[in-house]
């Protein structure tokens, strides 16, 4: 499965992507905001992730859509956007993402998430997308609001960053299909 935007291709991860994944995630300023990533991030970590991602795509039905963000002009993986189906009955999913810091502040995550959300609401017929962010991750919180997510709550001292060992407060966000403006 491939999703396209003007500058990006969202596609499955392949073994050949391991160097780009390590290049993007072996930065403390990236992984400090991720719950499941340790630091340093190694080739072995990337290869395990790719194998896990392959298994996710092979399950029927697919419950985890793990897309690599490939920058078309460089044919390079610069990040990832993921959609984890939480409930078929409730028609909702959770989303997470990351991007190599060399590509921050260029609108790539926003562009990728717009395409992912259009896929989620229009193709998968989801009713709601949820996500969370550490309360002190200003860039992520701003990006979520820009995409139309509404803050639904806060969990105090609920998440630990594996990379830093620090415990963080977490903001909870939701986006309903009827609130989604696909022309963003």
Model confidence, pTM: 0.92
- Please check whether residue 116 lies inside any domain of the structure: yes
Return the pLDDT at 183. Answer: 58
* Residue 160 belongs to a domain: no
Q: Which domain holds residue 84?
A: 3-131
Number of domains in the chain: 1
Residue 43 resides in a domain? yes
Percent helix / strand / coil, the chain, rounded to 5: 35, 35, 35
Per-residue confidence (pLDDT) for residue 87, from 0 to 100 = 74
Give the angle 4-8-13 at the CA atoms, nearest 5°: 85
The answer to whether residues 169 and 157 touch, using CB atoms and an 8 Å cutoff, is yes
Task: Determine the average pLDDT of the residues in 96-121.
Answer: 95
Q: pLDDT of 138-160, one tens digit each? A: 989 999 999 999 999 999 999 88
CATH number of the domain enclosing 48: 3.40.630.30
* Strand runs labelled E in 2-120: 3-4, 8-11, 64-71, 76-87, 92-99
């Amino acid at each position: 499965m491939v999703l396209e935007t003007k500058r990006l291709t969202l596609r499955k991860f392949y073994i050949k992507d391991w160097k780009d994944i390590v290049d993007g995630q072996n930065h403390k300023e990236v992984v400090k905001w991720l719950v499941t990533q340790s630091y340093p991030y190694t080739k072995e970590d990337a290869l395990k992730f790719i194998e896990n991602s392959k298994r996710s795509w092979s399950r029927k039905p697919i419950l985890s859509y793990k897309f690599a963000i490939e920058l078309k002009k460089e044919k390079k993986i610069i990040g990832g956007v993921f959609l984890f189906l939480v409930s078929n009955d409730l028609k909702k999913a959770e989303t997470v993402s990351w991007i190599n810091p060399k590509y921050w502040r260029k609108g790539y995550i926003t562009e990728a998430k717009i395409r992912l959300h259009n896929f989620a609401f229009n193709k998968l017929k989801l009713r709601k997308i949820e996500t969370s962010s550490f309360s002190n991750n200003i860039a992520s919180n701003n990006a979520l609001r820009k995409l139309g997510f509404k803050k639904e709550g806060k969990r105090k001292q609920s998440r630990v960053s594996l990379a830093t060992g620090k415990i963080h407060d977490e903001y909870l966000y939701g986006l309903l299909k009827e609130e989604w403006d696909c022309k963003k």
